[in-house]
Amino acid sequence: MKVEIYSREAIKELMKGEFPKNTAVISFCSPRKTRRAEEVRVYFGNVCDRVFNILIPDIDIEILGDYGYTYETYLEEADELAKFIYEVRAEGRDIICQCDFGQSRSAACAAAILQHFEGRGIDIFADYRYYPNQLVYHKVIDALEKVAKSESGFKMFFIKCFEKCEKDESGCFVTGDMRTFGYFDNLEACTQALNENVCDMHECLYEFAVIESIGQGIHSHAKEVAWFRWNEEKQGFFEIEKPECTRNYSNYALG
C-alpha cells in the first residue's frame, strides 16, 4: 500500500489530469467561521469514490481549550477513520493524505498509517518537508490499534477458486465457474494448501484463487486478501498481484 501526502493546491492540480486509480483520499480541512463546511472542503466529485473528509484546525495540545476542544473531542471521528483505512487497505487501494499545506495534519495521518502497518512512521518525521501534528498522529494510531485489537479474535481464512478472472464487454468482473473449497484459521495453512493443490482444487478447471480473512458477524468485511494463479509447471497455485479487474470487489467466499 502506497501512502502519499498532498497539499490542497497540489491535489487540485492532480485532479486536473488522470487521478491515480485504486486510490482513497483522507482530506483534512480547517474550519472557517464565515464559511460553510462544504465550501471549505476539497470537492472530489466523480474523481475519487473513496474520500474521508475531516474538518479540524491544525493546533497543538497546549491550545486545545482555546478552540473549545478536549483530547477526546479533537478528531472525534478517529475511530471511523481507522475503520475506513482498514477497509480501503483490504480493497487493495493506495491512500492519499491531504491537508491545506500538506505538511502537518496529512503528514501525521500518513505517519500513523505507515507506523501501524509497516513500522516506518519515522520516515515521515525524519523528512524535512513535514511537521506532523502530534495530536493527529496519536489519535489516528491509537484508533488503528483499537481496530487491530478488535479484529484479533477468531478468523476464518477462506479459499475461493475461479475459472477465470476478467472483465466482460460492459466492464463487469467475470469469474466463470467458482467454488469455495474450505477454510483454515491462518493464512499460512491456506497458502500451503494452494501451493500444493491439496485435494486437487485445480480440478483441470480453476485458474485463479483468492484467500480472504473474514471475522465473525453479519456482512463482515474481508481482510488480508491474497490472489493466486495456477502454475502448470509447479502443479500448484502461487501468489500474484491483485488483478486490476477485481477492483472494488470483495467478500467472494461469502458472497
**Residue 139, pLDDT score:** 96
Q: Are residues 38 and 127 in the same domain?
A: yes
Query: In the Cβ-directed half-sphere of 179, how many Cα atoms lie within 13 Å?
Result: 11
**Residue 168, pLDDT score:** 83
In a domain, 251, yes or no: no
**Residue 153, pLDDT score:** 60
Q: Are residues 172 and 99 in the same domain?
A: no
Q: Residue 37's CB: how many other CB atoms inside 10 A?
A: 11
105-137 exposure pattern, b = at least 16 Cβ within 10 A, e = fewer:
bbbbbbbbbbbbbeeebeebeeeeebbbbebbb
Domain final residue pick, 150, 176, 205: 150
**Residue 90, pLDDT score:** 84
Could you list the residue range(s) of the whole structural domain that residue 192 is in? 155-246
Entry pTM: 0.62
Residue 246 near residue 227 (C-beta atoms within 8 A): yes
**Residue 185, pLDDT score:** 81
Q: Which residues in the chain show pLDDT less than 70?
A: 33-39, 151-154, 216-219, 223-224, 248, 255
**Residue 24, pLDDT score:** 94
In a domain, 182, yes or no: yes
Q: Residue 54's CB: how many other CB atoms inside 10 A?
A: 20
* Helix 105-118 / helix 134-150 crossing angle, nearest 10 deg: 30
Q: Are residues 133 and 173 in the same domain?
A: no
Please tell me the total count of domains within the chain.
2
Q: Are residues 167 and 97 in the same domain?
A: no
Domain final residue pick, 135, 150, 165: 150
Q: Are residues 77 and 101 in the same domain?
A: yes
Domain final residue pick, 101, 121, 150: 150
Reduced to 3 states (helix: H, G, I; strand: E, B; else coil), residue 111 is helix
In a domain, 187, yes or no: yes
* DSSP H stretches of helix in the chain: 8-16, 37-40, 78-90, 105-118, 122-125, 134-150, 187-195
**Residue 200, pLDDT score:** 95
| CATH code, domain carrying 70 | 3.90.190.10
Distance (Å, rounded) from C-alpha 248 to C-alpha 48? 12
**Residue 189, pLDDT score:** 92
Sheet holding 155-162, edge to edge: 178-184, 155-162, 208-215, 223-231, 236-240
Q: Are residues 202 and 133 in the same domain?
A: no
In a domain, 252, yes or no: no
| 160, β-bridge pairs | 180, 210
**Residue 41, pLDDT score:** 80
